[in-house]
Amino acid sequence: MRRYFLGFLTLTFASLMAVAPALAHHSFSAEFDAKKPVKLQGYVTKVEWTNPHVWFYMSVKDATTGKTAIWGFEMGPPHGLQGQGWQRETMKLGDEVIVEGSLAKNGSNKVNARNVTLAKTGKKYGAASSQDNADTQ
């Protein structure tokens, strides 16, 4: 009987550990504001092709002040991007890109990317945005 109980506890613990990453995942509306669309252009400085979201960063020059700032862009998961034609090598360091998306609610330099256009080819890619599934009311 004790052996079955320990087995049950082990199985329960393993199940909870498997579910924990899904519970930690945020919704679009928790971090980004669909009512604050933005379009930015700049040069890619870093790409993180990881789960649960692909992030990339780019250097953006402010048209008014002339100052450059680093912005972070959240895209969907790797498998969602691959379904829209992305590959790991699609966007490289130094590439000039144009990004359409939604600003972070907290005013930081973060954007949930909806579309990314590669300036050198003019090709536009969907970013598997979580906004597509968000309630934007």
- CATH code for position 46: 2.40.50.140
> Which residues constitute the domain of residue 124?
28-133
Among 16-25, 28-37, 105-114, which stretch is predicted with the lowest mean pLDDT?
16-25
pLDDT at 106 over 90: yes
- 40 within domain boundaries: yes
Of 57, 50, 42, 56, residue with least CA distance to 97? 42
pLDDT band at 75; cut points 50, 70, 90: very high
Provide the number of structural domains found in the chain: 1
Whole-number pLDDT of residue 77: 93
pLDDT interval class at 30 (50, 70, 90): confident
d(CA 63, CA 115): 21
Q: Is residue 74 part of a domain?
A: yes
Whole-angstrom distance, CA of residue 116 vs CA of residue 106: 23
The pLDDT of residue 136 is above 80: no
pTM for the structure as a whole: 0.76
